[in-house]
Amino acid sequence: MDCLRTPDLIESNGLILTVALSGGAILHVRGEEIQMGGGMAALTRTADVSRCAIHSTSELVNFRFPFDKISPLIADLDDAVMRPIPVDAEALRLLVHYVSMLKDEDMLATPEVQNLVSTHLRDLAALTIGATRDAATVASGRGVPAARLRAIKADIVKNLTDRLLSIEAVALRHGITPRYVSMLFETDATTFSEFVLVQRLNWTHRMLIDARFSDRTVSSVAFEAGFCDLSYFNRSFRRRFGATPSDVRASSPARPA
């Protein structure tokens, strides 16, 4: 399948970062072409006629940035255009993951949040493309930490039922130190342990009010969620929800008659 930017679609004020999430594509611009495998990316101008030949069963995403917003952040724009960005570029991975999280969350309801997310996306895009020294410094203290924290939270949720889930294991998977993980959660006014606890409690609450799991004992649900101490689970659950696990299950509208 071909995606075309024909002369009547040309705009002079934008840059597009194309990312092949899976499969691949070939970008054709001004007589040049780039072979893009899964995970790779490339930058083009909206002022150029272009063709993107997308391989079958491929998934691509385009990030469009206003020229005046992104160009001051890029060290060498002319060199960056139509230069393949490799799959192992850390900033690119953070950018893709950040956007994937946005699809799953109702977090763009206010203009303030929308502006913050836009800023983070520009930070990550600039680092992916090749940021100036000043822009890289700012992004390292703003967009990058935000994206890392989102990736870590997603990792925790994915591995929530693993009783061996630890800050050390998560840090190792993300190539950072446990101390840095702690610092990221501090910016969110919480801790790694508190976040894990809340997610596990929410998980058990959902299980207890779901009629499909009514045959499970409270203790089996707690242990499956990753809790090792049943007394600690019961205290924490009551503190969060104002009722015991058994009471929550008994009062659930979904409880079978």
The top-scoring range by mean pLDDT among 23-32, 225-234, 244-253 is: 225-234
- By CB atoms closer than 10 A (0-12, 13-18, 19+), residue 86 is exposed
Counting beta carbons within 10 angstroms of the beta carbon of residue 50, is it exposed (0 to 12), middle (13 to 18) or buried (19 or more)? Answer: buried
User: Structure tokens of 157?
Assistant: 């949720």
The pLDDT mean for the chain works out to 90
Q: Which CATH number fits domain 1-87: 2.40.400.10, 3.30.1330.40, 2.60.120.10, 2.30.31.70?
A: 2.60.120.10
Give the pLDDT of residue 104.
Answer: 59
CATH architecture designation of domain 194-250: Orthogonal Bundle (1.10)
User: What is the reported pLDDT for 47?
Assistant: 85
If you average pLDDT over residues 197-224, what whole number do you get? Answer: 95
Domain with CATH 1.10.10 in the chain: 194-250
State the pTM of this model: 0.75
Write out pLDDT tens, residues 134-163. Answer: 999 999 999 999 999 999 999 999 999 998
